[in-house]
Amino acid sequence: MAKFIIQGSQSLKGVIRLGGAKNASFKLMIASLLTKGETRLLNFSRIADVKITKKILQSIGAKVGKRGERTLFIETSCLTNSKIPKKLGLASRASTMFIGPLLTRFKKVVVPLPGGDQLGKRPLDRHLAGLKALGAKVVFNNDWLEVSCQGLKGANYCFSKNSHTGTETLIMAAVKAKGKTVLENAAQEPEVDDLIAFLNKMGAKIKRKGERIIEIKGVKELKPVIYQIMPDRNEAVSYAIAAIATKGDIIVENAQAGHLQAFLNKLKASGGEYEVGNYGIRFYYKKPLQAVDITTRPHPGFMTDWQPLWSVLATQAEGVSKIIETVHLNRFQYVPFLQQMGAKIDFFQPSVDNPDKFYNFNLEDDRPDFYHGIRIKGPAKLKAAQAKVLNLRAGATLTIAGLIAQGKTVLTDIDHIDRGYEDLDSRLVELGAKIKRVRG
């Protein structure tokens, strides 16, 4: 098991170029199953989630090959089966997204219940209710999910709560269904729009009819295409916070301000500096930061994936910052490690008049020990510590905390970081960080 050894108190300076979005790249790979032939996807990040998806595709008969820098060619003409191997499915949280494409090819799909980050339950009920509305039959068989149909048919479906992955799952299921499908309370994330743009280029007929309404007119066939994946906005925020938290100066090439507006608004309010150019966005430290309050929301709100990262910045701001998490049940697992490093953080439960409307998770899954708010008093002098990485964004969070802290921080279980970041350690080293990756 590899680990990071991080020497702190280092300012970052330089230029970093974004790869393809983690939350778009592996999903477009799955969507390529909706057509027969060779699809070419450009601007991939070399991350573990892409590698896992590649193995799943190959296990069902697709041919996946690298043909140049950051490019994958995916040949889907000769699929052999529609059962996702359990080991691979448990290593990914995307196994249910194979259902729509494989139903159109085989009429029956068998997938293991998804794995991935443990952030509390990721409800599948929103996905499965939508698939049933389209005519699918869903059966749970121990740790497996069996979905079948003779032919999907268009339907109207309203998500009870906003679901990024659920929206994408139903788009892929409806794109070749007979008739028209209307999804209400659908996700607005840029990655969803990237999937829509990809499918429309293949010949799909998908339109947004309002902020959270998506209309899909089923088509009989889709064609292979060449498509460039959008840049990763979570990476952009990670490097932005690393720059400002270490009092550095970084240009993030290809960063798109339109994808980051909620973050940029809070950054400006805190006193963090940025400049938008045709190259991307420059992020830099100029003056002491001020505390601001954050409440996570589905896009276009402040993204839940940015919340752990922002907490590190908040430890360096003057005053008390309040962060409320509304999207995931249990996303403050990293906090005890920051407290161990000297961060002044207290948990609290927000006072909410209508919890069912306020929170995007299922209230029946909540527990008293799952706190949904933290207060951070800053600025704090962080000190080195040893910490175990519990999930992807927590790993990036603790890496940035290690860059600020005095002394050597050791992070174990860094395979979680590799799931969603391409060579995070070596890329930070190029910006002036002192990080060693140690095997075993």
Can you list the alpha helix ranges (DSSP code H) found in 64-147? 86-90, 99-106, 125-133
Indicate the residue among 151, 186, 220 that finishes a domain.
Answer: 220
So what's the pLDDT on residue 122? 53
**Same domain membership, residue 158 and residue 298:** no
* CATH number reported for the structural domain that contains residue 240 in this entry: 3.65.10.10
Q: Would you place residue 115 in the very low, low, confident or very high pLDDT band (cuts 50, 70, 90)?
A: low
Rounded to an integer, the average pLDDT of 237-247 is 98
Number of compact structural domains in the chain: 2
Q: Would you place residue 123 in the very low, low, confident or very high pLDDT band (cuts 50, 70, 90)?
A: low
Q: What is the pLDDT of residues 422-435, one digit of tens each?
A: 999 999 999 999 99
Indicate the residue among 179, 196, 220 that finishes a domain.
Answer: 220
Determine the 3-state secondary structure of 147 from DSSP: strand
pLDDT greater than 50 at residue 120: no
Instruction: Identify the weakest region by mean pLDDT among 82-91, 111-120, 184-193, 223-232.
Output: 111-120
Q: Which of 395, 373, 371 is nearest to 320 (CA)?
A: 373
Cβ burial, residue 71 (10 Å; 0-12/13-18/19+): middle
pLDDT greater than 50 at residue 119: no
So what's the pLDDT on residue 68? 84
Rounded to an integer, the average pLDDT of 315-327 is 98
Q: What is the pLDDT of residues 192-212, one digit of tens each?
A: 999 999 999 999 999 999 889
Average pLDDT for the chain: 94
**Same domain membership, residue 249 and residue 170:** no
**Same domain membership, residue 245 and residue 131:** no
Instruction: Identify the weakest region by mean pLDDT among 134-143, 221-230, 266-275, 429-438.
Output: 134-143
- In this structure, is the dihedral angle defined by the CA atoms of residues 363, 121, 264 and 316, taken in order, positive or negative? positive
**Same domain membership, residue 64 and residue 86:** yes
**Same domain membership, residue 351 and residue 215:** no
In a domain, residue 101? The reply is yes
Percentage of the chain lying above the pLDDT 90 cut? 86
Burial 106-119 (b: 16+ CB within 10 A, else e): bebbbbbbbbbbeb
**Same domain membership, residue 144 and residue 106:** yes
So what's the pLDDT on residue 358? 96
So what's the pLDDT on residue 118? 47
In a domain, residue 135? The reply is yes
In a domain, residue 227? The reply is no
Rounded to an integer, the average pLDDT of 40-62 is 93
Do the beta carbons of residue 423 and residue 437 sit within 8 Å? no
pLDDT greater than 70 at residue 65: yes
**Same domain membership, residue 174 and residue 127:** yes
**Same domain membership, residue 259 and residue 207:** no
Beta bridge partners of 14: 250
Give the range of the structural domain holding residue 327, as residue numbers without chain letter. Answer: 3-18+232-438
**Same domain membership, residue 376 and residue 262:** yes
In a domain, residue 226? The reply is no
**Same domain membership, residue 312 and residue 346:** yes
In a domain, residue 225? The reply is no
Instruction: Identify the weakest region by mean pLDDT among 85-99, 153-167, 283-297.
Output: 85-99
**Same domain membership, residue 182 and residue 69:** yes
Confidence (pTM)? 0.94
Do the beta carbons of residue 152 and residue 134 sit within 8 Å? yes
So what's the pLDDT on residue 10? 87
